[in-house]
Amino acid sequence: MPLRLGVNIDHAATLRQARYARDLESILVEPSPVAAALIAEQAGAEGITAHLREDRRHIQDRDIFRLKESLQTKLNLEMGNAPEIVAIALKVKPHDACLVPENRNEVTTEGGLDCVTHRTALTETITKLHDTGTVVSLFIDPDPHQIQAAADLKAEYIELHTGAFANATGDTRTHELHRLVEGARQAHALGLRVNAGHGLNYQNVRELFAVPHLEELNIGHAIISRALITGLATAVKEMKALCEEYPL
């Protein structure tokens, strides 16, 4: 199966909020995350990822509903396990929901979800999402205990947190890549499907191809950053071309 590319459009909303957070009804509001998502689709993205955070720092509720209505591929809703956000997800019924940890003081997601500690709460949410037909993914570190817990929770996917790999150098980077390889192998053996994301860019994504059983990469910041120079369609096409090099 060719490696799919999911494009995270949160940072299009970040740019919008920087200017129009208090005036989203203005006719001048731009850029539109939905417009960015449609360009990404047309350029080859197989899905669009958006994180509706509790503090609404970038993506807003109406963005999620409009994305669900507009996309021709699929909406992957990243979400914390908070009752308010879960309630919205149950209304939107995204194709995929990726449950992530959330800390209001963080700039971006800093680590994987603790499926072991929060097993009971996650079980309830996963059941509700499954009842609406949503495919569930758990964003976790490549830790054997977390991977086993994800399998026990009956999630269809895990998304391996690649941030430690992306931020490391030298022997530490090699070690983190090895953890991802072993984590993917364990997940596959347990019947889990494997995605990956966080900190991936045009320089390091090929290194990740050593990880087996990958189905989808979710990448946002690097693509939106590249788009400022090349345009969004070109930025997506360039990353999609890299994904096509993943060995089948």
**Helix/strand number for the chain, H first, E second:** 10, 8
Of 239, 194, 243, 190, the C-alpha closest to 214 is 194
130: annotated active-site residue: no
CA 124-106-52 angle, 5° bins: 50
Catalytic pick from 11, 41, 46, 51?
Answer: 51
Q: What is each CA distance from 86 to 13, 42, 132, 222, in whole angstroms?
A: 21, 29, 12, 28
Q: Which DSSP helix (H) or strand (E) runs through 185?
A: helix 170-189
Q: Is 62 exposed, middle or buried (0-12, 13-18, 19+ CB in 10 A)?
A: exposed
Catalytic pick from 41, 46, 78, 176?
Answer: 78
95: annotated active-site residue: no
Q: Where are the beta strands (DSSP E) in the chain?
A: 4-8, 47-51, 75-79, 96-99, 135-140, 157-161, 193-197, 214-219
* Whether 187 contacts 156, CB under 8 Å: no
Of 72, 64, 71, the C-alpha closest to 92 is 64
Q: Distance between CA atoms of 198 and 139, rounded to whole angstroms?
A: 10
Of 50, 161, 53, the C-alpha closest to 103 is 53
198: annotated active-site residue: yes
User: Which tokens is 239 given?
Assistant: 């990353």
Catalytic pick from 11, 46, 198, 216?
Answer: 198
Active site residues: 51, 78, 198
